[in-house]
Amino acid sequence: MPELPEVESVRRQLDPLLAGRVVERTWFDDHPAHRFHAIGDLDGQRLVRVDRRGKYLVCPLAPGPHAAVALPRDTMLVLHLGMTGSFRLRGPGDPTDPHVRFQAWLDDDRRLDFRDPRRFGRVSVVRPDEVAEVVPTLARLGPEPLSDDFTLDGFAADLAATRSPVKVALLNQRLVAGVGNIYADEALWRARINPHARRVGRDRAARLHRAVRDVLAEAISREGTTFRDYQMVNGQSGRNADFLQAYGQAELPCQRCGTPMSHVVLGGRGTTYCRTCQT
């Protein structure tokens, strides 16, 4: 599933294409998953910009000249790529891929298509008083890891308060937003911390805090990690897969000490780490 670097890379391409555009009409295919919410309210609304929060794309809305519904202030369009979601901007008359689940026709004669073969993505128009109900994960997100809100003091305190394995704690989105399985493995390897560890002191928390920031920033600079499905708006794949040092490296020599990398299931997620130099 796309994580923060992949979603941020999509955001950077979508924002200059969508910011300020008015949605003239929409279409969606909700069968059978019911992963779309209040889509009709989007008709006539202006997309102010494309932001990101964790693994979500968030577009603040403002009324266009012919808005179908008067929406409360701070209403937003929330987009989640799921496992196989991708966006494309199409011109007039361009054909529709059979796996497209959502379309928005814009006031510049282009069409935004959301393609999602496995149907795990979500598109929702969310009023400010219904965020916790419609997108509960978004309502509970921790600080953005590349922002000033992600402080070492807060991170170390949160790690000290949890009794979960550190890998599981990183994935729950409350300690830090946007870190998924790939970048949790990468950060723990870089910080030399065993993913099973349940007690992480101040010194190791500082190493992990820096590692989370570094691996995410580096992955963003390479426009994310593509194994199969993830693509940006321009159809290109991310370039970070060749730089991974832990995720997907099971049985290969650790790039630091040469020990074969181990693979276990932790908290229901595959986890790769080095038994020798991650302690």
Q: Which residues are catalytic?
A: 2-3, 55, 269
Partnered with residue 23 across adjacent β-strands are 106
Among 12, 21, 29, 236, smallest CA distance to 111 is for 21
- CA torsion through residues 33, 35, 41, 43, sign: negative
Number of helices (H), then strands (E), belonging to the chain: the values are 7, 12
Q: Are 44 and 99 in contact (CB under 8 A)?
A: no
- For the CA atoms of the chain, what is the radius of gyration? 20
Instruction: Give the 3-state DSSP-derived string for 162-184, with helices as H, strands as E and coil as C.
Output: CCCCHHHHHHCCCCCCCCCHHHH
- Sign of the Cα torsion 153, 160, 180, 197 reads positive
